Structure 1
Amino acid sequence: MLKEAHVVRQLVPFSAVAFLGFLAVGLPLPVLSLYVHERLGFGTLVVGGVIGLQSLATLLTRQYAGRLSDTRGPKLTSLVGLLFASLAGLFYLLAAVLVQHPGESLALLCLGRLLLGLAESLFITALAAWSIGRVGSEYAGRAMAWSGIAMYAALAVGAPLGLAIYRAAGFGAVAACAVLAPLLGAAAASTWQAFAVERIAQRTSFLRVLRMIWVPGLGMALASSGVGTISAFLPLRYSMAAWPHAGFALAAFGAAYIVMRLVLGGLPDRLGGYQTGLASLFAETIGLGLIGWANDPLIALAGATITGLGYSLVFPSLGVEAMRRVPGENRGLAIGAYLACFDLGLAIAGPGAGAVARSYGIPCAFAAATATALSALLLICVDWRWLRKSGPIGGRI
């Protein structure tokens, strides 16, 4: 069995490439709501739709990404995804050029979001499958934890950096950075040795994989839906309350998320997915509630930090439970199905929170996010208690 320090050394390069790729998401994300609302003049429902469009595209392409990774190999899949992420940045650049034409600019942003959704699906799915193949399935939780570290490090760094670049040089400069970062990741990954693709007579269908993992998958969808409201509306929550430093709140969320993963990322492998996941979902619920009912920016900052601490281990915790239910030769498809549940939550979060915000105000959007996190907590609690009574999962597949 590999020692944990060696496992981490094996995972760091994958995490670094995923970080560079996900900067194409993290740098523009806090800027998009401001650009669409303040520069192009569209309302909160359109803002939510633009934010959620990427996750919808990712959701619809997870099956393709997982199958491609299993059949053509994770190296090819990740390189194609990283190049598409860079191409999405070019659509953002064109949208910035057409800022005086709001309709055309919005259309280009939407095209870029769709392409970025496909790109994320390809490179995140493939890099996750590649890293688990490198360290072994017994470290699946640790591998998924480091994949998430990369994603939220890109958000933690990208959020304040993207806002700073936007204030200093405009949306076009943010887009240019989003073009460059995934190209650097592709250059690094292109030097790695590819794994041989395992050939088997028949592969499990995507729908069967979804049936195997539907409970942890639905829990992940509900949890990510709650947190997706932070990505879409935390900058506007601060802006409309006339609070300063929205970027710091986003950075605090990402930093708390990363620290928790670095310090306690092995808990799902050691203690069990559901045991760790229940505690994490409880903290996420408390943090989102604080943001919704905050009357001071420090309370909202505390809420973002607590949400980051709680949500940090939800993904690997429920992911460990999902991976236990699927044969190893279908790892890419299983990761794709599980990530599709994650995407579903984010795709719902943008327009759903936008509709609530338009009707009842932005604080109520965070109250709705709190309710979804609480629903995930209750679902996992019920399934965990049922599993303890019915015996091992392996006998039920």
Structure 2
Amino acid sequence: MRTQDTGRLAQSPIRVLMPIMAFVFMVYLNIGLAMPVLPLHIHQDLGFDTFVVGLVAGAPFAAALFSRLLAGRFTDQRGGRDAVVFGLSLAIASGGFYLLSMAFSKERMVCLGVLVLGRLLLGAAESFIITGALSWGMGLLGPSHSGRTIAWVGTAIYAAYGAGAPLGTLLYHGYTFTGIAGVTTLLPLVTLPLVLSLPKAEAVKGDHVPFVEVARQVWQPGVALSLSGVGFGAVTTFVSLLYVARGWGSAWFCLTAMSVAFMAGRGLLGHLPDRLGGARVAMVCILIQAFGLFLVWSAPWSGVALAGVILGGLGYSLVYPGLGAEVMRRTSQRARGTAMGTFTAFFDLSLGVSAPALGWMAGRTGLASVFMASGLLALGAAGMTFHLWRGQDPAIQHPEPALVP
């Protein structure tokens, strides 16, 4: 790509990222469609209990966790666009298994088994697509825009989740789960031409970076992300139960307000990690999140809890972009995909472990204690992030990758 084109991209990051955000939105809309109706399909249509519902719903997260490293290595070797194309292929296959499962709707165990295979493929697809998309965006814009890339791509994800829930509900009630299966097969297919039409950032050539070296650079931001992520999981999982237990009415407005605050933080403040430093921004945001969690814990009425949830969503919005920018600053570009895959695995692990642990705590010490514990863990994350910020080596800066048409 010519030098003037490189300058144009550097001056207009939103124009470069908009197509990537568009296909990420399409992919995660595909995921979001099934989220509100999958439990209904398994419990009401197939007749399985809530334990099975939880297993099937959680299958993609397990597959994503175990495929993160593979997705990262693939991205480093082949480039972000190839990783996204491979992920879309897996997503198409996932939709195909959804459709195939409906052919065995009268044999519920076979139907469930085929559906689980589709869910596992979906988790692996998500891993390749998001790792490839983030690496692709950073490759086009360069490391100086890593925080903005993570923030804006993440905004597309949560917007897709928000749109997917009502659309999936309408599809399910109008066309049963077969309608969901059909759309989740078609959406990745129609997204492929968009992806293939976009310029790619070529994989950075060089010697293979050992995983041990990548892990050494990533583990501290990753642990901080895990500790902060417990609070996010606590709100999304337990705030509704807290509202019911205290007779505060429906919690839907509370969760919607958190989502709006989260997306506003990503959209309006996503440039701050690149401008002020990822670790510094993440530390401040984690402290805001912790304050919000303590407000929910001590809330005497619903208004205080609502304020706490909004502050928690706003604070958490830049934790992943801030710490992700720190990961990119510390890691060689030859291992960018592996680094982001490993870093994101900490988030998967956090949600997977914290949900049952906090549920156990809530049953013994009350629902409010979940938010106190999450706030304390967030303070621990802030301490780790402060250490990252104060220990930064300004000499660690990696050159921008070559841009190719």
For normalisation by structure 2, the TM-score amounts to 0.81
What is residue 185 of structure 1 aligned with on the other side?
191
What is residue 49 of structure 2 aligned with on the other side?
42
Asked if the contact 1:257–1:312 (Cα under 8 Å) also holds between the matched residues in 2, the reply is yes
Shift of 1:373: 2.9
Whole-Å Cα distance in 2 between the matches of residues 379 and 208 of structure 1?
20
User: Is the counterpart of residue 152 in structure 1 residue 152 in structure 2?
Assistant: no
Whole-Å Cα distance in 2 between the matches of residues 360 and 36 of structure 1?
32
Match of 1:21 among 6, 27, 44: 27
Match of 1:327 among 311, 325, 332: 332
What are the ranges of 5 or more consecutive residues in structure 1 without an aligned counterpart? none
Q: Could you list the per-position Cα deviations for residues 69-96 of structure 1 after superposition, in whole angstroms to 9, with x for gaps in the alignment?
A: 1212222210121232243344445667
Shift of 1:177: 3.9
What is residue 6 of structure 1 aligned with on the other side?
12
Whole-Å Cα distance in 1 between the matches of residues 42 and 298 of structure 2?
26
What is residue 374 of structure 1 aligned with on the other side?
379
* Residues 235/185 of structure 1: CA separation in 2 closer, same or farther (3 Å cut): farther
Shift of 1:46: 5.5
Alignment of 1:74-223 (within 5 A): 74-92=80-98, 107-163=113-169, 165=171, 170-200=176-206, 202-223=207-228
> Percentage identity across aligned positions?
37
Paired amino acid for 1:272: G
Whole-Å Cα distance in 1 between the matches of residues 140 and 66 of structure 2?
27
* Residues 382/135 of structure 1: CA separation in 2 closer, same or farther (3 Å cut): closer
Shift of 1:150: 1.5
Paired amino acid for 1:220: L
Whole-Å Cα distance in 2 between the matches of residues 56 and 268 of structure 1?
30
Shift of 1:301: 4.8
Asked if the contact 1:11–1:131 (Cα under 8 Å) also holds between the matched residues in 2, the reply is yes
Paired amino acid for 1:256: A
Whole-Å Cα distance in 1 between the matches of residues 300 and 62 of structure 2?
33
Asked if the contact 2:204–2:333 (Cα under 8 Å) also holds between the matched residues in 1, the reply is no
What is residue 226 of structure 1 aligned with on the other side?
231
Q: Specify the structure having the higher radius of gyration (Cα).
A: 2
Shift of 1:135: 0.9
* Residues 269/355 of structure 1: CA separation in 2 closer, same or farther (3 Å cut): same
Shift of 1:64: 0.9
Q: Could you list the per-position Cα deviations for residues 223-256 of structure 1 after superposition, in whole angstroms to 9, with x for gaps in the alignment?
A: 2233234455566666787877655544433322
Whole-Å Cα distance in 2 between the matches of residues 79 and 127 of structure 1?
10
Q: How many matched pairs?
A: 390
Whole-Å Cα distance in 1 between the matches of residues 104 and 370 of structure 2?
31
Whole-Å Cα distance in 2 between the matches of residues 341 and 255 of structure 1?
25
User: Is the counterpart of residue 338 in structure 1 residue 361 in structure 2?
Assistant: no
Paired amino acid for 1:42: D
Alignment of 1:227-306 (within 5 A): 227-232=232-237, 248-290=253-295, 301-306=306-311
What are the ranges of 5 or more consecutive residues in structure 2 without an aligned counterpart? 1-6, 398-405
Q: Could you list the per-position Cα deviations for residues 57-114 of structure 1 after superposition, in whole angstroms to 9, with x for gaps in the alignment?
A: 2121111111111212222210121232243344445667777877556544543332
Asked if the contact 2:280–2:385 (Cα under 8 Å) also holds between the matched residues in 1, the reply is no
User: Is the counterpart of residue 62 in structure 1 residue 68 in structure 2?
Assistant: yes
Q: Could you list the per-position Cα deviations for residues 325-384 of structure 1 after superposition, in whole angstroms to 9, with x for gaps in the alignment?
A: 111222222222222222222332444445445666666555554443333223223443
Match of 1:384 among 385, 389, 395: 389
SS state of the match for residue 330, structure 2?
coil
Paired amino acid for 1:190: L
What is residue 401 of structure 2 aligned with on the other side?
none
Asked if the contact 1:288–1:307 (Cα under 8 Å) also holds between the matched residues in 2, the reply is yes
Shift of 1:21: 1.0
Whole-Å Cα distance in 2 between the matches of residues 223 and 38 of structure 1?
35
* Residues 131/170 of structure 1: CA separation in 2 closer, same or farther (3 Å cut): same
Shift of 1:276: 0.9
RMSD, aligned α-carbons: 3.6
